[in-house]
Amino acid sequence: MKKWQVAVIVLLATLGSWVGLATQAHAAKYTIATDTTFAPFEFQVKGGKYKGIDIDLLQAIAKKEHFTYQLKALSFNAAVQQLSANQVDGVIAGMNITSARKATFDFSKPYYSSGVVMAVTKDSSVKNFKQLKGKTVALKTGTAGATFGKSIQAKYGFKIKYFNDSNTMYNDVKVGNSVACFEDYPVMSYGIKNGIPLKIVSKQHEAGDYGFAVKKGKNAALLKKFNAGLAAIKADGTYQKILNRYLHAKESSITGETASSRTFFGLFSQNLNTLGKGLWMTMELTIISIILATILGLILGVLGVMPGKLGPAISSTLIYIFRGMPLMVLAFFIYIGIPDLIGHGFKIPAFIAGMITLMLNEGAYTGAFVKGGFQAVDAGQMEAARSLGLPYWKAMRKVVMPQGIRIMIPSFINQFIITLKDTSILSVIGIVELTQTGTLIIARNFEGFKIWLMIAIIYLIIITLLTWLSNWVQRRIN
């Protein structure tokens, strides 16, 4: 063989071995989803790191079984939906093993057995289930407490209100909108011990076992590793140490917070870095999305006023679809629905999915007012330009569009404000923007009023600056 042929063969063999090693390395690293607000099983501590029974168990098991993983913190519902859509390889989130879930997921051996309790405000007269008749009970979607509450609803005649996170559920009881909530005992006990003004008034009712889940028929190797690692850490005492660390320790020893850090300014200074990261994500999403939405809106606006029927029909249809679809539904459809439809391991990163969601939704609104802005330009302007010999598209670009855009500039700035606020909805697909950052902080310290006040002030400062900019531009135009 000639030297160049030998060189090519050696190069191809080397590349093949590299690809093989890279594939093996990639296969050994899993994406594991978890909940964000289910202390003491999972919660965020200062600095943005996640801790909890589930987090530490997973870390210990991965160390025993020599596999690596990327942790993806989501709401419980989003985590389960992403597992169904093959967006993640597994879920560990205090997930009860039920017969209904077994139809969709394969579970590990149980790693914790829990009981459900009923909690009420400290001054409540409700002491048993019979006193719930005709009243409202708060439940967190997807939890053992929700399953138990639903199972006894008909017997005791109470109404149900569902929430996506524990802190909001607790506060609904605290302010009196609901008279009670059902929650897993360790979660409720941890919350009460660390400042939630509720009390437990029932015994523990069997809720079943928690398990690590993978999609049915998928990731059998990961499930096998989890089971083997779980057995190993139970045998060497690591499992019990982890439980003791969270179930029998004071909150301050886990989170590193003190009484002084729970003041408004203490919380602000302690979480400044975390809030800054959330704000940066919000601004990044907003700026990129509004640029793309403006481009899409200009295209839809031009199509909407062009001669003939095809362009206006396309414009009207797209505006109707994406303006009429709720933003949350659109986000779930893009992030979970499309990968589930395509299959074959196809994934869309959360940031990209959020950006596309905002671009389509805000682009539709932008397209509507762009179309209106072009139509607001006197028709005689176009007629005069055409009479001077300008082609249609050149007349649009040189005559109509500059006048229309001048009219629409304040609307563009207002749309920027709307997009900024709409980013908060994207927390449902796991994007940790400013609002989700607040939720994660509250899950740790239960200081809902102070944290949401901080978030509100930050939003108001940014929106005030943008409003001033809009008014200044309006004055300049006038």
| CA proximity to 83, closest of 227, 230, 212 | 212
Domain range annotation of the chain: 3-111+211-256, 113-209, 268-477
CA–CA separation, 437 and 460 (whole Å): 17
Quote the pLDDT of residue 256: 55
Q: At the fourth CATH level, which superfamily is domain 113-209?
A: Periplasmic binding protein-like II (3.40.190.10)
Quote the pLDDT of residue 28: 56
What tokens appear for 287 in the block? 């700026």
Region for 47 from its dihedrals, namely left if φ exceeds 0, alpha if ψ lies in -120 to 50, beta otherwise: left
CATH class assigned to 268-477:
mainly alpha
Contacts of 383 (CB under 8 A, 6+ apart): none
| CA proximity to 226, closest of 209, 245, 244, 211 | 211
Same CATH fold assignment for domains 113-209 and 268-477:
no
Longest Cα separation, the chain:
92
Quote the pLDDT of residue 269: 81
Quote the pLDDT of residue 344: 67
Report the CATH architecture of 3-111+211-256: 3-Layer(aba) Sandwich (3.40)
pLDDT tens for the chain, 478 residues long, are: 554 444 445 444 444 444 444 444 444 589 999 987 788 898 877 667 888 899 999 999 999 999 999 988 877 878 888 888 888 899 999 888 888 899 999 999 999 988 899 999 999 999 999 999 999 999 988 788 888 999 999 999 999 999 887 888 998 999 999 999 999 888 888 888 877 889 999 999 887 789 999 999 989 999 999 999 999 999 999 999 999 888 876 554 555 555 556 678 878 887 888 888 889 999 999 999 999 998 998 899 888 888 888 988 999 999 999 988 999 999 989 988 888 788 766 778 888 999 999 999 999 998 888 888 877 777 777 778 878 878 877 887 778 777 777 777 777 778 888 889 899 888 888 788 888 888 878 777 777 788 889 999 999 999 888 888 877 877 776 6
Quote the pLDDT of residue 306: 80
CA–CA separation, 330 and 348 (whole Å): 14
Contacts of 293 (CB under 8 A, 6+ apart): 358, 359, 361, 362, 363, 366, 415, 419
CA–CA separation, 344 and 336 (whole Å): 13
